Structures are given as structure tokens and as C-alpha cells.
Amino acid sequence: MTTTTELAELARALRGSRTATFPTVVAAAAYAGPLMKSALDTYGAWETAAPGHRAAVLAAHLPERCEVGETAELADFTVKACHGQTPIPWNVAVDYARSHMTAAEVLGRLDRMPLGWREEAVRAALEAITAAVASTQLTRNFLQSRGFEVDVDAHS
């Protein structure tokens, strides 16, 4: 039975603070997925969590496939979800203000480029998206092969 206090400690450890439970970032990352899933189950929030949030929590079971900073943000978000304090989904909540500003800035920079360089930028972006989709498919397949229920869109 995981509490949100434990999740808050996990998030601090993922950000580099030593704690009694998690002496290193690596130790915290190893427990991130299971602790977040356990907390969501304990607080009855797994079934009401958005599919993107559930997928991110399951992906955190494979710390080698996750970025530590994002996992810390996910732990913070999961604490809020356990207490019903998440008005917007995980994938929208993460760095929304920064992403919005970055999108406007990137669009402006892209608009100022000559056509050939814009085409190259879009090609590179598509390459990154393709890699992200492939990585997500690998994570899902690996979790499924380990017996995890990966149908995050289904509600019981």
C-alpha cells in the first residue's frame, strides 16, 4: 500500500535528493513505476486516470526507457491524481506553459527559414516522431511480454 507521502519522497529522490528510502536516483527510478501504480490503486485512482497517465506510469516500470526528470514530474502529477486534483490530463499538464511558448518560438524560427531549410527541419522532426513512436511500441510490447495489462484505454 503506497502513500502519496512515499511518492513525494520518490519525486525528491528522482531530482537528486538523498532520502532514507532512495539513496540514489537510480534506486528511485527502479521503484518509480511500481510505486506510482500502487498509489493509484491504493487511492482508487487507476481506473479514473487518463489513458496517457496510465501509459506513462506503466512505462515508468522500465526506468531505462524513461527520462528521470519526466518521471519526477509524473510522480508529482500522480500525487495530485491520487487526491483528485488533476483537472487536465498528464500529457497536457507536463510543461504546458513552457511547451506553448516553445511552440510559438519554434514556429517563428521556422517561418524565418528559407524553404529548403524548413523542409529539412520538418524531415528531422518526422524522424524524431518516428523514433518516439517506435520506442513507445517497444516499451508497450516489453511490458506486455512481462504480463502487464497494457490496454490503458479500457476501463474496468
Residues 6+ positions from 51 with CB-CB distance below 8 Å? 152, 153
What does pTM read for this prediction?
0.75
Alpha-helix runs per DSSP H in the chain:
4-14, 25-42, 51-59, 68-82, 90-93, 96-112, 115-145
Instruction: Tell me whether residue 80 is in a domain.
Output: yes
State which of 1-5, 97-101, 125-129 shows the largest mean pLDDT. Answer: 125-129
Share the mean pLDDT of the chain: 87
Q: Domain for residue 138, yes or no? A: yes
**Structurally, how many domains does the chain consist of?**
1
Question: How many of the other CB atoms lie within 10 Å of CB of 46?
Answer: 21
Predicted local distance difference test score (pLDDT) of residue 124 = 87
Task: Check pLDDT > 60 for residue 156.
Answer: no
Any domain includes 151: no
- What's the pLDDT at 106? 81
List the domain range (segments joined by +) for residue 37.
4-145
Q: Is 43 contained in some domain?
A: yes
